[in-house]
Amino acid sequence: MTETLFLTSATVADLAAPAEYVDAVREGYRQRGNGAPAQPRSKFLRADPEGMLTSYAAVLPETGAMGGYMYSAGFGAGDAWFMTPLFDAESGAPLALLDGASMNPFKTGAAGAVAVDELARDDADTLAIIGSGAQARGQLRATATVRAFDEVRVYSPTPANREAFATDFDADLEADVHAVDSSSAAVTGADVVITATKASEPVFDGDDLEPGTHVTAMGQYSPDKRELDAKTIERATYVPDLRERATVDAGSFMQALEAGAITEDHVHAELGEIVAGNAPGRTSDDEITVFDSGGTGIETVAAAYLLYERASERGLGQTIEFAPASEALTGD
């Protein structure tokens, strides 16, 4: 038997600050850039009852941890459930099982922030956020740790939602955070654009992007859905979280490919290759860059291990027992 730490969503909710997530996820992507294993998500769909079962995983050998996400969404419950198993990368023993719901916006936001740090101009001071939900909030909290923005514009289709978002963050950040009434008003003249929506069609016109803009898109990961139009992908230096994912579920890239706007060679590099220094990031002030974030086991394992360490230090969580296969299968 081995004792494994079980951490509820409430337990991990306040264990780490956004900047700590960013540091942990940056290190995870550095390891990926030097060859750490990770694969795109596997997604299984069911029509009746309608739902989705998704999983993905990664090994971070220098962190000493491996694991990933398994989550369901829809089905009879009409909700989503996130489970994060974490294993020791040396012994293979289970370290922890986390309810991954509350960490989700933080670890995904951290991946976006790492991309902004690597790909946005150093003098970027105007940020556009399209979306006002939990993921948009996570992106802003994390991204605000890597750039000092003077202005943050937020747009979402529901006026009350974008106004509430702006009010909440205007009190928390030094930047002037305010709502705007169109995606064009948000994007035009912005140095960094973040899309975090459930939209199935492009949320802004690629012609509205100024030279030198960085875009992080993280709201859709399905071949038939996209947040970015073909013009945006065509104009940009395109960086996915995983190269293999670009032609599996990166709808913006795949639809630009189908339209003939780009070829598969349009993938510049994985984010991890840039973080590790094995591929260049931004090369000029006029370059448009895109980070296509669909979610990977890299940020999940990095964040989960951070939370596991914090909980262990503070004596939080409860232990559950797992039997090794040699014992469970034989009864010895």
Residue 332 scores a pLDDT above 80: no
Are 199 and 224 in the same domain? yes
> Is 96 part of any domain?
yes
* Per-residue model confidence (pLDDT) at position 220: 76
Are 168 and 242 in the same domain? yes
Average pLDDT score over the chain = 95
Give the integer Cα–Cα distance in Å for 139 and 65. Answer: 25
Cβ-Cβ contacts under 8 Å for 283 (sequence gap 6 or more) = 237
> Is 115 part of any domain?
no
Residue 80 scores a pLDDT above 80: yes
Secondary structure percentages of the chain, helix, strand, coil, to 5: 35, 25, 35
Give the integer Cα–Cα distance in Å for 73 and 206. Answer: 31
Are 194 and 45 in the same domain? no
Are 144 and 255 in the same domain? yes
153-199 confidence digits (pLDDT tens): 999 999 999 999 999 999 999 999 999 999 999 999 999 999 999 89
> Is 126 part of any domain?
yes
Are 245 and 321 in the same domain? no
Q: Specify whether the CB–CB gap between 186 and 129 falls below 8 A.
A: yes
> Is 116 part of any domain?
no
Length reported for the chain:
332
214-265 confidence digits (pLDDT tens): 999 998 778 888 999 999 999 999 999 999 999 999 999 999 999 999 999 9
Q: Which domain holds residue 303?
A: 2-104+297-330
Lowest-confidence pick of 69-73, 91-95, 219-223, 309-313: 219-223
CATH number for the domain spanning 223: value is 3.40.50.720
Are 173 and 317 in the same domain? no
Are 265 and 286 in the same domain? yes
Nearest to 57 by CA among 65, 45, 69: 69
Are 153 and 273 in the same domain? yes
Distances from the Cα of 176 to the Cα of 105, 123, 230, angstroms: 22, 17, 31
Q: Which amino acid is at 180?
A: V
> Is 312 part of any domain?
yes
Are 226 and 267 in the same domain? yes
Are 27 and 90 in the same domain? yes
> Is 190 part of any domain?
yes
The percent of residues in the chain predicted with pLDDT above 90, rounded, is 87
> Is 68 part of any domain?
yes
**Which token pair is 269?**
């590099």
CA 154 to centroid of chain Cα atoms: 19
Are 301 and 283 in the same domain? no
280-327 confidence digits (pLDDT tens): 999 999 999 999 999 999 999 999 999 999 999 999 999 999 988 888
Distances from the Cα of 102 to the Cα of 108, 215, 237, 276, 292, angstroms: 11, 25, 32, 29, 22
Helices (H), the chain: 9-12, 18-33, 104-119, 134-143, 159-172, 183-187, 230-235, 251-258, 271-275, 297-314, 325-330
CA atoms within 13 A on the CB side of 176: 5
Tally the domains of the chain. Answer: 2
> Is 178 part of any domain?
yes
Q: What average pLDDT does the segment 138-157 reach?
A: 97
Nearest to 62 by CA among 41, 37, 85: 37
**The model's pTM:** 0.95
CATH number for the domain spanning 7: value is 3.30.1780.10
Q: What average pLDDT does the segment 28-51 reach?
A: 94
Are 284 and 301 in the same domain? no
